[in-house]
Amino acid sequence: MTSFPTSYSRAPTLIFSQSSLNSLGRTSYSLARLNEQLATGLNILRPSDDPIRSATVSILDGRLENTEQILKNLEFAGNSLGIIDNALGDAKSLIDEAISIASEQLSSPSDSESRSGQATIIDSLVSSLFNIANTESLVGYVFGGTNPTGAPVSAFGGGYRFTGERGGLTAALGAISDIPITLGADNAIGALSSRIEGTVDLDPDLTLDTRLSDLNGARDLGIEQGIVEFSYNGGPTVTVDLSGADTIGDVADTLEAAIIEYETDNSVSILGPGGVSISGGALDFDIAGGGTLDFTDQQGSYVGADLGLVQDPAVSFTTASGTGLDLDAKLSWTTPISSLQGLGGSALDQISLSNNGQTMEVDLSGATTLGDVKSAIEAASDGIRVRISDDGTSLNVFTETAGTRDLALSIAEVAGGNDTATLLGIRSYALDTPLSVFNDGRGIDIAEGSGVATENEDFSITLGDGFEITIDLSSSDIATVGTLVNAINSQADTQLTAAGRPTTDFAVSLSATTNGLEFTQDAAIGASGAISISPQRSAAAEQLGLLDADLSPGGNTLTSSDRASVRVNNLFTHLMDLSQALRSDDTLGIQIASENLKGSLEDLIQSQALVGGYARRVDEEVLRQEDKSVLDEAMRSQLRDLDYAQASSRFAQLQLQMQATMSVIAQSQSRTLLDFLG
């Protein structure tokens, strides 16, 4: 209730007016503020009302906005994973149908007309799989990997080309941000071949521009950056900070500058005109003073050890020995060809590249860096990718196109091409090629384990004059192409010698250019007839490509077909193989395609189970984020929202107070006798 002090009883009218207006204004302001609070439902209208609570409300606002965005992302993720699950389920049904067709054809008598009709059905399944592979969700193409903006599979050159990326797209999904919401090249539908893996460590020398991040280091653990210490002839020890070095040239310059400063400070002569440089794969010091330069690491540091300057036991740098340990530089696309020690000083020339049914010669003689090699190979044929191996030592060549065997990728030599493919370690059929990669990874089957020698024979070689050489292979003989060649030659030499014949009558070797083995008989024997090969107790002859080998015009040389060519191991490949085998009435081909489909079906089922697990985690995270949002909303409401019951009571009180104030003002302004006294 408004009242006026008794001291105002004889105060001037102006003071009464000002006091009345102030009192009325305070009440009016309180009413106006309370009216705004009632209208907005907020207790805090501006930060200045309560800075501490306002700051807390601001934090909660940010958390609620973040939660809202995460819930939207989770909605997109759930949609994408649901569509992936459905797509994988459709693909599984499709493959089940294909396997059923293959089984039916294998269990019934061969009928070329019926099989041709079934091949048409398989072709339609391929078209359906193509549509499944390009399924879209709210986030894009679900099988596009980390880049779902473009269709991951396209029809190309009679096959299907997968251009999606590896891995999967991730998003801010709260505690499950690690799960992918798309699938990439690592699934049964779309996969990149990784069969042609470089077999040669190209071992690049250091250059001054070699980045420290491109070095494995002397300990094979990379390069630690920091401080290294050195002294000369047992003199004072100084530190050198290499933490700012980016290239090996920076390291050399920093060390040289520190040593020169050491020479000045201690009146000694250490470096010759060569200073600090590089030699091969290591740092090199031109020690001209006749003393010993010693590097040490601080406790817990391995900077000098990684740079090959500190060894255990300790080794000093001297005039006679000024080179550190090899730093094992990794390959990069800027690595000069001239620095590749793995080439043994040989120059690059041409390679033969077969892909998508076409064979072309690729000239690498003008390449100055590995990037030039990559560009030349990838430009020669669409659907080829060249990558540096994960350990940074060799090149790998991938194909993106799934198709029948005549579309497979292979790399061979060119006559007069200086064995360039072998030098680079990317020839797909070489002496060190494992036989386990033959026939799309199925390898070679041999007859083994029988107690009767004749029952272990795998194939026989018949020379033109009728002499027969039998080959009995063991597990150790089929490790690589080289071990196979040695085994065949050894057994042939033994049998020729036992028969009193010269070992020059027959030999097998890797073809110099064609990807295959050359079985050659002496030219004099060729007058009696051509060399031939027959299977015995195993499928080795067929799996080695000996039964469809090419015979030279004179009949003296038989060259096996290439069974080490590389194809994409996915559903498109296996379905197209099945279609081709059905059309050609190839029972063995149908069986092989069926087995491959069953293997891919297992991968498909595993992918579907994995996606189901992801979807369950998304559902659980939605519930968790919603619970979190409710708690944050409740806390914010307690801090920010208006108590309507309390505000209504306060509003009535202020109205009564205003009425009382106005009544008092009216009474205090009325005239009395004193107003007329002079």
Strands across the sheet containing 196-197: 196-197, 395-399, 384-388
**Using 50, 70 and 90 to split pLDDT, how confident is the model at 165?**
confident
Q: Tokens 């384990």 correspond to what residue?
A: 449
d(CA 349, CA 365): 4
Q: What pLDDT shows up at residue 627?
A: 92
5 pLDDT more than 70: no
Residue 49 in this model has a pLDDT that exceeds 80: no
**Homologous superfamily, domain 61-191+571-626:** f41 fragment of flagellin, N-terminal domain (1.20.1330.10)
| Residue pLDDT, tens place only, 502-532 | 999 999 999 999 999 999 999 999 889 999 9
pLDDT of residue 12: 61
DSSP calls for 212-234: GGGB-TTTTS----SEEEEEETT
pLDDT of res. 35: 75
Strands (E), 270-348: 271-279, 282-287, 293-297
Q: Which residue has the higher pLDDT, 51 or 3?
A: 51
Crossing angle of helices 51-107 and 571-583, in 10° steps, is 20
pLDDT for 99? 94
SS (H, E, C) 597-664: HHHHHHHHHHHHHHHHHHHHHHHHHHHHHHHHHHHHHHHHHHHHECCHHHHHHHHHHHHHHHHHHHHH
Asked if the model's pLDDT at residue 470 lies above 80, the reply is yes
Q: Is the pLDDT of residue 8 over 50?
A: no
Q: Residue 18: its pLDDT value, please?
A: 74
Minimum mean pLDDT range among 181-185, 198-202, 365-369, 476-480: 181-185
Whole-number pLDDT of residue 7: 47
- Domain ranges in the chain are 6-41+642-676, 61-191+571-626, 212-306, 337-428, 442-559
What pLDDT score was predicted for residue 400? 84
Other C-beta atoms lying within 10 Å of the C-beta of residue 61: 13
Question: Mean pLDDT over residues 255-275, rounded?
Answer: 94
What would the pLDDT profile of 405-444 be if each residue is shown by its tens digit? 888 999 999 999 999 999 999 999 999 999 999 998 889 9
Q: What is the mean pLDDT of residues 180-199?
A: 77
User: Between the CA of residue 188 and those of 166, 383, 387, what are the distances in Å?
Assistant: 13, 18, 22
Measured between alpha carbons, how far is 578 from 589 in angstroms, rounded to an integer? 7
Residues 513, 486: Cα–Cα separation, whole Å: 19
Average pLDDT over residues 151-155: 88
618 neighbors 77 (Cβ within 8 angstroms): yes
Number of neighbouring beta carbons within 10 Å of residue 300: 6
CA angle, corner 166, sides to 160 and 170, nearest 5? 125
Q: What percent of the chain has pLDDT over 90?
A: 59
pLDDT at 668: 63
Dihedral angle sign, alpha carbons of residues 113, 119, 120, 122 = positive
pLDDT class of 188 with cuts at 50, 70, 90: low
At residue 1, the pLDDT reads: 46
Confidence of residue 602 (pLDDT cuts 50, 70, 90): confident
Helix axes 644-668, 13-40, angle to 10 degrees: 160
No. of H helices and E strands in the chain?
Answer: 13, 23
Q: What is the pLDDT of residue 675?
A: 59
Q: What confidence tens digit (pLDDT) does each residue in 93-118 have?
A: 999 999 999 999 988 887 888 899 99
Q: Is the pLDDT assigned to residue 260 strictly greater than 80? A: yes
> Exposed, middle or buried by CB within 10 Å (0-12, 13-18, 19+), for 572?
buried
